Amino acid sequence: MGARAAPIQNPLKLNLITMASEYASSGEYIKHHLQNLTYGELPAGYERHDGEILSQSLWTFAHGAEEAKAMGFWAINVDSMLFSIGLGVLFLFFFRMAAKKATTGVPAGLQNFVEWIIEFIDSSVRGSFSHKNALVAPLALTVFIWVFLMNAMDLIPVDWLPYAASMAGVPYLKVVPSTDPNVTFGLSLSIFFLVLYYSVKMKGAGGFFSELAFQPFPKFLFPVNLLLEGVGLIAKPISLALRLFGNMYAGEMIFILIALMFGGGWILALFGGALQWAWAVFHILIITLQAFIFMTLTIVYLDMAHAEHH
């Protein structure tokens, strides 16, 4: 895996096959594809990748993981934001277009697809949510479609968009937002805040605290109850985020490893093409399943927030 890849002279051939041959080792190739395009502030006195020592703090794009780490908490992964927001806008655009063109007759085309999705979401909500809340079904629809679209970016060959970006001078481009833990935690924390809001709204602050402190053991063991229930509560957004991130990150890593085979000659390239196709077909199930799981757990957590335990 550490051997130098054979150079490819024709840039068009490079675009069609892989970028792996540009790197001294497969490790560099993998690191490059897993690096986000990060924008943030480097502190004064920091030594950059090219040896420059900053005399004052500088807002810039990170060149590598070390610079991204030095930028700290307020750095932003521009590529993750760009693709996630862009996919959200795409979702709103097509669903709005379907709503504007909806007719009372037999649906066809986009309207038929959108109605099928809405019926699927509606049946999922009815099966998992036993209370009344007009927010839950639209939220479930948004979560499912948005997560699915972000996951589906994994089906685009790993070198196409990064190569196009490099031609425009962009050093890094990570195109699958759900392989960024910042995105998955942002989604899960939003759901968590809704769970807390409705827990307090439906049960009152006292009722919510009683639920945490006085179950499942007798009331005099409230410290134990509070510890157990508190850990269980905090584990919800963490597990929600890490499940999505872990599965999508692993899938992206497999695509990257398969792409390395294209730099090893025509025999390996043909074998890699077959593997890539097979994994992409299987990955369609994974990206759909992960979106469904994220949506279902969102519905279940909100149902638990509405329920009163006695």
Number of folded domains in the chain? 2
| Among candidate residues 282, 48, 32, 244, the one with its CA nearest the CA of residue 159 | 32
Q: What's the pLDDT score for residue 9?
A: 36
pTM over 0.85: yes
Pair 43, 99 in one domain: no
Pair 145, 266 in one domain: yes
**Residue ranges, the chain, pLDDT below 50:** 1-18
Kindly report the backbone phi and psi dihedral angles of residue 307, in degrees, each rounded to the nearest multiple of 5, phi listed first: -80, 140
Task: Please indicate, yes or no, if residue 5 is contained in any of the structural domains.
Answer: no
Q: What's the pLDDT score for residue 23?
A: 65
Task: Please indicate, yes or no, if residue 177 is contained in any of the structural domains.
Answer: yes
Please give the angle made by the CA atoms of 294, 291 and 281, to the nearest 5 degrees: 145
Task: Please indicate, yes or no, if residue 3 is contained in any of the structural domains.
Answer: no
Q: Are strands 58-61 and 76-77 parallel, antiparallel or unpaired?
A: unpaired
Pair 113, 150 in one domain: yes
Pair 67, 116 in one domain: no
Question: What are the residue numbers of the active site?
Answer: 239, 243, 247
Pair 210, 229 in one domain: yes
Pair 128, 202 in one domain: yes
Task: Please indicate, yes or no, if residue 270 is contained in any of the structural domains.
Answer: yes
Task: Give the span between the Cα atoms of 175 and 125, in whole angstroms.
Answer: 31
Residues near 103 by beta carbon (within 8 Å), at least 6 away in sequence: 111
Q: Which two tokens stand for residue 133?
A: 């809340």
Pair 298, 222 in one domain: yes
Range of the domain at 190: 11-27+78-306
CB 125 within 8 A of CB 136: yes
pLDDT digits (tens, 9 = 90+) for 63-74: 999 999 999 999
Task: Please indicate, yes or no, if residue 6 is contained in any of the structural domains.
Answer: no
Q: What's the pLDDT score for residue 21?
A: 55
| Among candidate residues 118, 162, 167, the one with its CA nearest the CA of residue 141 | 118
Task: Give the span between the Cα atoms of 178 and 77, in whole angstroms.
Answer: 12
pLDDT digits (tens, 9 = 90+) for 217-271: 888 888 898 999 999 999 999 999 999 999 999 999 999 999 988 877 888 889 9
**How many residues are recorded in the chain?**
310
Pair 242, 283 in one domain: yes
Q: What's the pLDDT score for residue 264?
A: 77
Q: What's the pLDDT score for residue 16?
A: 39
Pair 238, 173 in one domain: yes
Q: What's the pLDDT score for residue 104?
A: 78
Tell me, letter by letter, the H, E, C secondary structure of 64-121. CHHHHHHCCCCCEEHHHHHHHHHHHHHHHHHHHHHHHCCCCCCCCHHHHHHHHHHHHH
Task: Give the span between the Cα atoms of 78 and 67, in whole angstroms.
Answer: 15
Pair 92, 109 in one domain: yes
Q: How many CB atoms lie within 10 A of CB 180?
A: 22
Pair 290, 213 in one domain: yes
